[in-house]
Structure 1
Amino acid sequence: MVDAIDRALIHALQLDSRAPYSRIGEVLGVSTQTVARRFNRLRAEAGLRVVGLPDSQAAGQAQWLLRLTAAPQAARELAGALARRPDTSWVKLASGGTEIVATVHSSPSDGNQLLLHDIPRTAGITAVSAHYLLHLYVGGPTAWRGRVKSLTAAQQAALRTTAPDRGSARELNAGDAKLLTALGEDGRMTLADLSERTGWSAATVARRLEELQQSGALYYDVDVDPVVLGYTTSAMLWLSVQPAYLDAVGRALAEHDELPFVAATTGRTNLVAQALCDSPGALHSYLVDRVGAIEHITAIETTPVLRTVKAAAPFS
């Protein structure tokens, strides 16, 4: 489990993922050494990782949510295989280990190879469904509300960077590929290391980072095991909503601290979310008292998540 300083550090990284330890320490009221020590401990024990990721629109990518059903052994092997692919993120084992849920990033140039070719030929799969992500309400650049509640308003103001202008997102160019690959491995990689990886000068790297982040083409995400934060129960929620009320319901769910992910999709259900709660009883209460109170949800399927095999960061 983590303490108040650990939670504050995670919140600080969500606000400014590349802030120096010294700046974070000043805002938190602790030493630079304490911040560095806490960061390294969380990285070793709680899977803490800061990663820089391209905005899917700027990268010319489509995002799909795959649901695959298979026998338990086949499902575990397939989840591992999917996690090792560079075009996947958030690979989860669900429904007693017989279902895989994964996000797949595709572009016109790859011909949707994973969706249309690789998966149907994999032995042991009994069902496949693919849901095109139409709109993200929570997830991606939008931080999970339940994880950003540790700092005071003054502390947040001291760390919060200028909000990006996503309406003017720059398209990524060929020269950005090495930069994004490096940031996908470590979003806090130093300018010197990024310079070595890209072949650019440190000044050019710094300028390009600023351009991409301020335009919304690049954002940072913070991975950490939710169990260490006390969230021991996870489930995917597949909801059917009357189309005229889809956006209203999506926006209402986006205000729930229990949901780190909410998106509109294609498919038999048109809204999907992930819930994180501190116990099965808390999940039950959340579904009955909060989700149940929202009008125009006509059906809901709840699938428990057993394990996250891969998060936003590349598999290692």
Structure 2
Amino acid sequence: MPYRRAGRSGLVLPPLSLGLWQNFGTARAYETQRAIVLRAFDLGVTHFDLANNYGPPPGAAEEMFGRILATDLKAYRDEIVVSTKAGYLMWPGPYGDFGSRKYLLSSLDASLKRLGLDYVDVFYHHRPDPETPIEESMGALVTAVAQGKTLYPAISNYDAAQTDAAAAVLADAGTPLLLHQPRYSMFDRTPEDGVLDAVDRAGAAAIVYSPLAQGMLTDRYLNGVPEGSRAVTSVFLHESDITEDVLGTVRALNEVAAGRGQTLAQLALQWVLRNPVVVSAIIGASSVAQLEQNLGAIGGPELGADELAEIDRILG
């Protein structure tokens, strides 16, 4: 595995990390989830990305991963990077959401209990809070580092100005920003409008989520919307999103991938990783076979200028 350095830090990460967002929880068999996690680790995926609300239900992904850590990976804790987040609704009442010091530190304690860990390697503020000063939210991350409950602070879904502000607070406290996790794919290039530059200014790195655009950048929808696909079952992707224009774009991109001897998913992953600010892309997996196929993006032929220009033309 060709590990990559996260900004100006001492931490290296695999180019593809395993995310436990939608495929890990009570809705799937534990043995399937366990097999995916263990196969990922065997193949050199050392980073596992979680959040307090991942499941379903919220908290289930952390509990499941904690069980795997305890039964299979306990001896390898120092070879694994575990990250979790807080920032979305986790429990009822006024203190279970967004970015107050009370919520973030309480959520981290609950996450550690579910994971069965004394600390996580990375703790994210999952989204900016319009009502709470960034100084308070970042101060909570600084406290978590000081308490030994996390090693590195991180943020997710912040815009460029918010990233600059958060990075400044963390730098002043002596706990520099490690990672920013934005949504980034061929179909969502929003981070190119300032966020990636802000991450670079901070000496941090981007680790991107949804690089396959909820599965649209795979061969899943080349012939329309199949039964049981995420476009039918997920709240994050809808059948109405798979328009004829989208299908035309996906098929054209698939031709580029085929010309390189790759799947569309492998091309899409390699495309986000082309940016030097991006240290890793987070992938999900519903099976070991899907995991192995996506990991095939690592070591693929470098994207040439002509290919990048053709992709830009297709994307319009």
Fold shared by both chains (TM-score > 0.5): no
- Greater share of strand residues, 1 or 2? 1
Q: Which structure is larger by alpha-carbon Rg, 1 or 2?
A: 1
TM-score, structure 1 as length reference: 0.28
* TM-score, structure 2 as length reference: 0.28
